[in-house]
Amino acid sequence: MEEVIIIGSGPAGLTAAIYAARARLNPLVIAGNEPGGQVTLTNEIENFPGFPDGISGMEMYGLFQRQAERFGARIEPDIVEAVDLKVRPFVVKTTSSVYETKSLIIATGSAPRRLNVPGEKEFTGRGVSYCATCDGFFFQDQHVAVIGGGDSALDEGLFLTRFASRVTIIHRRDQLRASKILQERAFKNRKVEFIWDTVVEEILGEEAVKGLRLRNVKTGQTSQLDVSGVFVFIGHVPNTSLFEGQLELDANGYIVTDRYTRTSLPGVFACGDVQDPRYRQAITAAGTGAMAAIEAERYLAELSAEAPAATG
Ligand code: NAP
């Protein structure tokens, strides 16, 4: 029987692991199908305090992991297939084992939102990408499109200028959501251009992506843009399908927590992007990870205080 299982190994999950391990709860982390989470897809993290020169997401993941293991956290490269939160102890079923645990910390993060247009599925991996760090290299001296107007679109679009000859950012409005510093960098970069008030209607190609069919949302006019790559950065959806019907989720599928990371079920805590539609930063994920572990520790202490004394 585990004291605490942590599902997910991004900044939230691994920070929870560091705190839970130091609290001598011997935490088990199920790393999931994307160990390290979304930070590992980030080329350079410039806003995590303590790294004044920036750090790559992969390097950060390595450091978090080392720190958690140093205090005894066990990190399993496994994937959770089902959880049963209706029974006590909770049951966590992975691809290789079935675990029982007194408490659970959910740090399953979120996944890139899809455009849901024709061609997207067919050309994923053949010109359609959700990760510039992973795939930018393949577009040396080519023209690529970036979809979105937030921090991710601009950050990743700027990163793509290292490889691509031209980066066209297509945004559905005429105002960017991205932070001012990224806007300034993008407007200054000669390889970056913008198409405003425009959405993608179809991704075109044969073997691989050849272009986009676009529609101006103000005029209704359609046009075609020839590109060999499309990078989609239009936000995220929380990874909560495992918990549907077992925990309270909000209208967008995020786990509802109180200000102490507690979910609708005592003993189950959630941290990081899976419960945060608002900030979604590595630093805030790490912060809520620490909170969840501290709360789990308190919950377990109360649980053992309530347990009837063993008779002998
Ligand atoms: P986001 O801030 O939610 O922005 C998503 C963008 O995609 C918005 O511009 C949105 O348009 C657009 N969009 C949404 N659905 C769309 C659709 N179906 N079709 C076309 N466009 C669509 O997401 P994000 O950029 O991934 O950022 C997520 C969080 O991570 C934010 O808190 C951000 O600050 C943070 N982040 C920070 C950094 C950094 O600090 N360097 C880097 C990356 C991410 P509207 O604007 O019209 O809604």
Nearest atom, ligand 1, residue 115 CA? 18
Give CA–CA dist 249/145, Å, rounded. Answer: 34
pLDDT in tens, 267-281: 999 999 999 988 888
Give CA–CA dist 55/37, Å, rounded. Answer: 15
Q: How far is the CA of 126 from the centre of ligand 1 (A)?
A: 23
Whether residue 312 is contained in a domain is answered as no
CA angle (36 as vertex; 30, 39 as ends), nearest 5: 150
Active site residues: 131, 134-135
Report the percent of the chain where pLDDT is more than 70: 99
Nearest atom, ligand 1, residue 45 CA? 41
* Ligand 1 binding pocket mutation candidate from 234, 237, 278, 284 (most atoms within 8 A of CB): 234
Number of domains within the chain: 2
The H-assigned helical ranges of 8-51 are: 11-22
Tell me: do 174 and 255 sit in the same domain: no
Nearest atom, ligand 1, residue 199 CA? 20
33 to each of 70, 111, 135, 227, 303, how far by Cα in Å? 23, 12, 19, 31, 32
pLDDT in tens, 214-263: 999 999 999 999 999 999 999 999 999 999 999 999 999 999 999 999 99
What is the CATH number for 143?
3.50.50.60
Whether residue 311 is contained in a domain is answered as no
Whether residue 104 is contained in a domain is answered as yes
Range of the domain at 297: 2-111+236-306
Ligand 1 contacts (CB < 6 A) are 47, 147-153, 155, 172-173, 177, 199, 233-235, 279-280
DSSP assignment, residue 188? H
pLDDT in tens, 272-312: 999 998 888 899 999 999 999 999 999 999 999 988 765 54
Nearest atom, ligand 1, residue 236 CA? 26
**Cis bond leading into 35, ω under 30°?**
no
Q: How far is the CA of 100 from the centre of ligand 1 (A)?
A: 38
308 Cβ neighbours under 8 A, 6+ residues apart: none
Residue 44 has pLDDT above 90, yes or no: no
278 to each of 38, 61, 77, 153, 285, how far by Cα in Å? 16, 23, 29, 17, 11
Ligand 1 atom 13 nearest Cα: 234
Which of 180, 206, 232 lies at the terminal end of a domain, its last residue?
232
pLDDT in tens, 46-75: 889 999 999 999 999 999 999 999 999 999
Tokens of 178: 């991205």
Ligand 1 atom 22 nearest Cα: 234
Whether residue 190 is contained in a domain is answered as yes
Q: How far is the CA of 63 from the centre of ligand 1 (A)?
A: 27
**Is pTM, for the whole model, over 0.85?**
no
Ligand 1 atom 40 nearest Cα: 151
Which of 232, 248, 266 lies at the terminal end of a domain, its last residue?
232
pLDDT in tens, 131-188: 898 789 999 999 999 999 999 999 999 999 999 999 999 999 999 999 999 999 999 9
Provide the pLDDT for residue 280.
85
- Contact between 56 and 64 under an 8 Å Cβ cutoff? The reply is no
- CB atoms closer than 10 angstroms to residue 242: 17
- CB atoms closer than 10 angstroms to residue 75: 20
Ligand 1 atom 26 nearest Cα: 235
